[in-house]
Amino acid sequence: MPYTVAVAGASGYAGGEALRMLAAHPEFEVRRATAHSSVGERIIDVHPHLRSLDGMRFTETSTEKLAGHDVVVLAMPHGTSGAVAAQLPDDVIVVDLGADHRLTDEGDWNRYYGGDYHGAWSYGLPELPHADGSRQRDALVGARRIAVPGCNVTAVSLGLAPGILAGVIEPRDLTAALAVGPSGAGRALKTNLLASEILGSAAPYAVGGVHRHIPEILQNVRLAGGAEPTISFTPVLVPMSRGILATVTARLVPGTDPAAVRAAWEGFYADEPFVHVLPEGSFPTTASALGANTALISLALDADAGRVVVVVALDNLVKGTAGAALQSLNIALGLPETLGLPVDGVAP
């Protein structure tokens, strides 16, 4: 028997991607999709690409509608999923695509988000290293509550973590500049996300250390063994519907053998099915990761600056959100980690 699933907040981009991936998974059956303003509408009228869900309609989001399923995926705005999750029974596996359960430090939550703090859940980035040599997937085995990382956080963390763990880069004075698609901001109507505002333009936002993903990135760097990390993080909105291209730099530890730098990343990700380190001199594009649960990584040494440059490309709605949720669910339920997850992207 397949595991039954309900997706709350399913009318948005993240919720719609979760529906798409769950519907194609051989061990899950989507039984319910809830929403707010779309209650009563057919799923295919809101998500015309989800033809396999023809006949289903959005229902209201309530504990009664969500309870009784094996798995509940929360694709709700930050600050709203915590209260819903608190009402769900312990026998339901709950996966939060929002930020309400990512941060382990209440002070970070108060500074960057505000509102009620609901505590941290098992973190849904299986490849993330711990300083003791383990990986985050170990903490996901049997998990009943899973917090999916922020999409930008996934890109930056995957780019930095192997170098931190290997001790070849310094955790202070990290930088990250990201080109991101507007789907990461959700589906709500906002003037700065209109096509007429975005097309032909690139616009930075949350500049100067105020982006909400910063404490989560630093949390992951510390987990990998980086003491007192700092990062300058600048995202730029660009005219592509989905995707992240992160350019991350870090100071090399003095005296580091250049050969040890590439070896750190290649060795760490050698057996990871969804993180691929490209050959020297080859750099990824967001198009290469479109629709796939893959992160593509390239490395370069800037000898004059004494820094390593890491470029990471991924699909913010797949590896950055819904794919990470499904990958973590596979681990939690004892299913093959790669089951139902695409490695190949779509082109052109």
Task: Given the residues 23, 95, 151, 275, select the one marked as catalytic.
Answer: 151
CA 109 vs. chain centroid, Å, equals 18
- How far is it, in rounded angstroms, from Cα 16 to Cα 213? 22
Strands (E), 82-215: 93-96, 122-123, 145-147, 174-180, 203-204
List the one residue out of 235, 238, 171 whose CA is nearest residue 206. Answer: 235
- How far is it, in rounded angstroms, from Cα 223 to Cα 219? 6
3-state secondary structure at position 249: strand
Supply 243's token pair. Answer: 């995707």
Alpha helices, DSSP H only, in 180-256? 195-198, 214-223
Residue with token string 């209201």: 60
Element (H, E) at 307: strand 307-314
Strands (E), the chain: 3-8, 28-35, 59-60, 71-74, 93-96, 122-123, 145-147, 174-180, 203-204, 231-237, 244-251, 275-277, 295-302, 307-314
Q: What does the DSSP 8-state code read for residue 282?
A: -
Are the beta carbons of 236 and 204 closer than 8 angstroms?
A: yes
For the four alpha carbons of 197, 202, 205 and 208, in that order, the dihedral sign comes to negative
- How far is it, in rounded angstroms, from Cα 4 to Cα 333? 13
Q: Is 151 in the active site?
A: yes
Element (H, E) at 21: helix 13-24
Supply 1's token pair. Answer: 């028997």
Residue with token string 């963390």: 157
Element (H, E) at 188: none
Active site residues: 151
